Amino acid sequence: MRTETQNISIEKVTESRINEVDFNNLAFGSVFTDHMYECDFKDGKWQTPVIKPYGPIMMAPSAKVFHYGQAVFEGMKAYKADDDTIWMFRPEENQKRINISSGRLQMPAFPKELFFEGLETLLKLDRDWIQKGEDNSMYIRPFVIATEAGVSASPSNEYKFMFLLSPAQAYFKAGSGVKVLFADKFSRSANGGVGYAKAAGNYAGQFYPTHLAQEAGYQQVVWTDADKHESLEEAGVMNVFFRVGDTLITAPTSDRILDGITRKSIIQVAENEGIKVEVRTVSVYEIEDAAKNGTLLEMFGAGTAAVVSSISGFGFKGNDYELPKLDDKDCYAIRLRKRITDIQTNKAEDIFGWRYQVKE
Ligand code: COI
């Protein structure tokens, strides 16, 4: 059946797949809801968007995205509160950031009105897929790809903007925490590069070094500056925080580091809790010394998918360091994660004005 909202053409599935899904056993990003959103850019403008059943898309094999990686994406989440209302967390930040990423890759900005109209219509259509309860959310994947056929190495004249929805649980398995390796050879980004953008290629470039790290028993790489490998920047899918004594330290954003929305929310929440936060260059040697002298109490990652994920230890240049196991009540990661998720799921007062309700 095809219907039209004011601006979106909607083709609904004839039968939902929802009953085939085991919502208690979801591998991150592996299950998608019944519908997806598509909007094409052609002749210098965005065309009428469509929502249609989730499925393959057709593109010329010479489409520029396949050859030059002209592609950007975002990661967002929607939550269902106990009273069935649907909420997003600071979605305007993602909307702005995808256009910042697009700009860096010489791609057109996607208008804010289309972004919100499309996303909210899609979320309402697939609302039954949004599960309530701890750790449950709907991961939202907006992305833009260059669709023009032709392999000349120049920006595409045609693009596709899409939203996919994927029900999600915790990104990292609950339990002992994530073990990370501090990079001392490979680099993720360079000065003047695309590190601050959510460019698809930023992630592809991490796969090989991360694979090597995983073979050596680590789950993620914490990237260091490309020049000397002396300052700690960000982990593969999240920004990183270090707790030395009672102070929380994280690297400043730059053209090499993603301006993480969870990262900046954590900084505000921690300061609001009276925790001392330092945003400054974090030296690998300072963290290694703190691990040796017992003042490194915590490390954790922060990101949309990862939320706040504790790091259990790190490796650097052949040495491994374990972090102490703190009681839950003494642990900044647990405390900050709860503050953030309570705001996200409408369980706590939103003193920062971050929550965004998807209105019926
Ligand atoms: C997110 O947190 O949304 C990310 O970008 C991580 C993703 C690459 C899995």
Reported pTM: 0.96
Residue closest by Cα to atom 5 of ligand 1: 75
> Residues enclosing ligand 1, CB less than 6 A?
75, 203, 237, 303-305
CA distance 127 to 31: 15
The ligand 1 atom at the shortest distance from the C-alpha of residue 73 is 5
Q: Which of 139, 166, 304, 307 has the most ligand 1 atoms within 8 A of CB, as the residue to mutate? A: 304
Q: Contact at 8 Å (CB) between 76 and 123?
A: no
And the tokens for 195?
A: 């590190």
pLDDT at 313: 97
CA distance 34 to 230: 46
54 CA distance to ligand 1 centroid (A)? Answer: 21
203 CA distance to ligand 1 centroid (A)? Answer: 9
Domains and CATH numbers, the chain: 2-168 (3.30.470.10), 178-344 (3.20.10.10)
pLDDT at 360: 83
Bridge partners (DSSP) listed for residue 165: 140
pLDDT at 6: 67
140 CA distance to ligand 1 centroid (A)? Answer: 10
Residue closest by Cα to atom 6 of ligand 1: 237
Which pLDDT tens digit goes with each residue over 311-343? 999 999 999 999 999 999 999 999 999 999 999
pLDDT at 107: 98
Which pLDDT tens digit goes with each residue over 158-212? 999 999 999 999 888 766 689 999 999 999 999 999 999 999 999 999 999 999 9
Bridge partners (DSSP) listed for residue 264: none
216 CA distance to ligand 1 centroid (A)? Answer: 23
Q: Contact at 8 Å (CB) between 277 and 267?
A: yes
The ligand 1 atom at the shortest distance from the C-alpha of residue 203 is 8
The ligand 1 atom at the shortest distance from the C-alpha of residue 260 is 2
Residue closest by Cα to atom 7 of ligand 1: 237
Q: Contact at 8 Å (CB) between 221 and 210?
A: yes
293 CA distance to ligand 1 centroid (A)? Answer: 33
The ligand 1 atom at the shortest distance from the C-alpha of residue 306 is 2
Residue closest by Cα to atom 3 of ligand 1: 75
Distances (CA, A) of 275 to 61, 169, 312, 333, 348: 53, 28, 21, 12, 19
65 CA distance to ligand 1 centroid (A)? Answer: 20
Q: Contact at 8 Å (CB) between 50 and 8?
A: yes
Which pLDDT tens digit goes with each residue over 122-164? 999 999 999 999 899 999 999 999 999 999 999 999 999 999 9
For the beta carbon of residue 185, count every other beta carbon within 10 angstroms: 9
Q: CB within 8 A of 225, min separation 6: which ones?
A: 187, 231, 233, 256
The ligand 1 atom at the shortest distance from the C-alpha of residue 171 is 9
Residue 5 pLDDT more than 80?
A: no
